[in-house]
Amino acid sequence: MFILVNLKAYPCDPIEVATAARDVAEASGARIAVSPQAADLARVADTGVETWAQHVSPNAHGSHTGSTLAEAAAENGAEGTLINHSEKRLKLADIDGSVAAAERADLETVVCANNPAQIGAAAALGPDAVAVEPPELIGGDVSVSTADPGIVEDAVAAAEAVDSGVDVFCGAGVSTGEDVAAAGDLGAAGVLLASGVAKADDPEAVLEDLVSGI
Ligand X SMILES: O=C(CO)COP(=O)(O)O
Q: Determine whether the annotation assigns residue 76 to a binding site.
A: no
DSSP string, 131-192: EE--GGGTTSSS-HHHH-HHHHHHHHHHHHHH-TTSEEEEESS--SHHHHHHHHHTT-SEEE
Contact 35, 53 (CB under 8 A): yes
Q: For residues 60 and 139, which CB has a smaller minimum distance to ligand X in the complex?
A: 139
Contact 55, 82 (CB under 8 A): yes
Alpha carbon distances (Å) from 143 to 46, 47, 182, 183, 195 = 31, 29, 9, 9, 12
Q: Does 195 contact ligand X by CB under 6 A?
A: yes
Q: Does 21 contact ligand X by CB under 6 A?
A: no
Give Dmax over CA atoms of the chain in angstroms. 47
Q: Does 173 contact ligand X by CB under 6 A?
A: yes
Q: Does 125 contact ligand X by CB under 6 A?
A: no
Q: Does 168 contact ligand X by CB under 6 A?
A: no
Binding mask 68-107 for ligand X (x = CB under 6 A): -----------------x----------------------
**Least distance (Å) between residue 138 CB and ligand X:** 4
Active-site residue list:
85, 133
The residues that touch ligand X, with contacts defined as CB under 6 A, are 6, 85, 133, 138-139, 171-174, 192-196
Q: Which residues are annotated as a binding site for substrate?
A: 6-8, 138, 173, 194-195
